[in-house]
Amino acid sequence: MRSLHIGATGMLAQQTNVEIISNNIANMNTTAYSRRRAEFHDLLYQNMRRVGANSSDSGTIVPAGVQLGLGVKTASVYRIAEHGSVLNTDNTLDLAIQGNGYFQIDLPGDRGTAYTRDGSFQLSPDGDLVTHDGYTVQPGITIPENAVGITVNASGEVWVKLDGQTDQVNVGQLELANFSNEAGLEAIGDNLFMETVASGQPTTDVPAALGFGSVLQGFLENSNVNVVSEITELVSAQRAYEMNSKVITTSDQMMSTINQLKS
């Protein structure tokens, strides 16, 4: 019976939906995490009576026809690129982006450049600005050993106060990258993304430039997960899963009835 297979596709789709929701909830405290949303499409239709077909020799046509659907499939898992709120950390090397843009991260080896909105940076043993995994933030910025204070302004300029000196010294300029389709970036874990054909090539400029966000020192971006919304979606997915399982149970009962007629 078609209904058995249709119900199975519905259960598989809702299982995927629950997995996506659970991942959102698990990452509700992950810095700069963007929640995901499952999108579903109906499967192919079987034409039992094709719409628009001739129904008589006089040229009358079938106005509606008979099309039977074959179930549902997961079309995509869309990443909501809405920016989260910012959290005050009072940490000098914590940077949040207010607006559009991604920090550029130099991956080790020949892996190229990754992109992130997670600005929880640290210093390497050589004084380079790096991520929590030790990956260099582009363009490379080195803090001198005798620096007693670090200031990053809204435009991404990095200034340091050296021991024994009054004036601050500019040691580098942060740059941000923008994409025409942020949802097309490929997530590789560790709060990092890679450029894809779908995302388009990055456009780079300094923070606070036209179309780019500014940098806020001493803050981190929270995830954009709305817990109440996720729990609501979770309940809805659970009910849809139960209804699809009911379809399979009902189909099984109908087949059992047919078997009894044969006996």
Q: What is the pLDDT of residues 78-111, one digit of tens each?
A: 999 889 999 999 899 999 999 999 999 999 988 8
Q: What angle do CA 228, 231, 237 make, to 5 degrees?
A: 140
Length of the chain measured in residues: 263
Q: Which two tokens stand for residue 28?
A: 């509700």
CA 29, 34, 36, 37 torsion-angle sign? positive
Coil, helix or strand at residue 14 = helix
pLDDT band at 262; cut points 50, 70, 90: low
Contacts 24+ apart (CB under 8 A), 164-171: 169/144, 171/141, 171/142, 171/143, 171/144
pLDDT surpassing 60 at residue 263: no
CA distance 224 to 197: 25
How far CA 230 is from CA of 18, 33, 128, in Å, comes to 10, 14, 39
pTM comes to 0.85
